[in-house]
Amino acid sequence: MSISLKTDKIEYRAVIKFFVKEGLTPNEIHSKFIKFYGDASSSFSTTKKWAADFKRGRTSLEDDSREGRPKSATTPEIIEQVHDMLLDDRWMKAREIAVDYRHFKRTCRIYFA
């Protein structure tokens, strides 16, 4: 994710948090977003979710950490190794790559399907 995209998300959340403290409803907040940001505004469902979180007492503007693929799964070295495997054998199947890189099994299905 680019830095500006992350910054935009944080800024939107800060504005939502402020408006929640001012007592605005998610509908009112989203209307203000549309008026000010236009097409670049966050969706109503996102606004509603964050407004509810802040109303329940959430203080952080950052995303919660989530389980998932480890960051080490897409290191430049592994990407280069998979690229080299495909250059050596262009008919290689995603299953064959997934045997060597088990954490790629789902990703291979997505990208090579």
Dihedrals phi, psi of 49, to nearest 5 degrees: -60, -50
pLDDT band per the 50, 70, 90 thresholds, residue 18 = very high
Q: Is residue 29 predicted with pLDDT exceeding 90?
A: yes
Of the two residues 86 and 28, the one the predictor is more confident about is 28
Q: Are residues 10 and 35 in the same domain?
A: yes
Number of structural domains in the chain: 2
Residue ranges making up the domain that contains 75: 71-112
DSSP string, 37-94: HGGGSPPHHHHHHHHHHHHTT----SPPP---S-GGGG-HHHHHHHHHHHHH-TT--H
Arithmetic mean of pLDDT, 61-86: 75
Apex 24 CA angle, 35 and 19, nearest 5: 75
> Is residue 64 assigned to a domain?
no
75 and 108 co-located in one domain: yes
Which of 15-29, 52-66, 70-84 has the highest mean predicted lDDT (pLDDT)? 15-29
Closest among 12, 4, 17 to 52, alpha carbons compared: 17
For residue 33, pLDDT over 80 is answered with yes
- Chain-wide mean pLDDT for the chain? 79
Give percent of the chain with pLDDT exceeding 90: 35
**Taking residues 45-53, what's their average pLDDT?**
94
Cβ distance 50 to 13 under 8 Å?
yes
Token readout for 6 is 């992350």
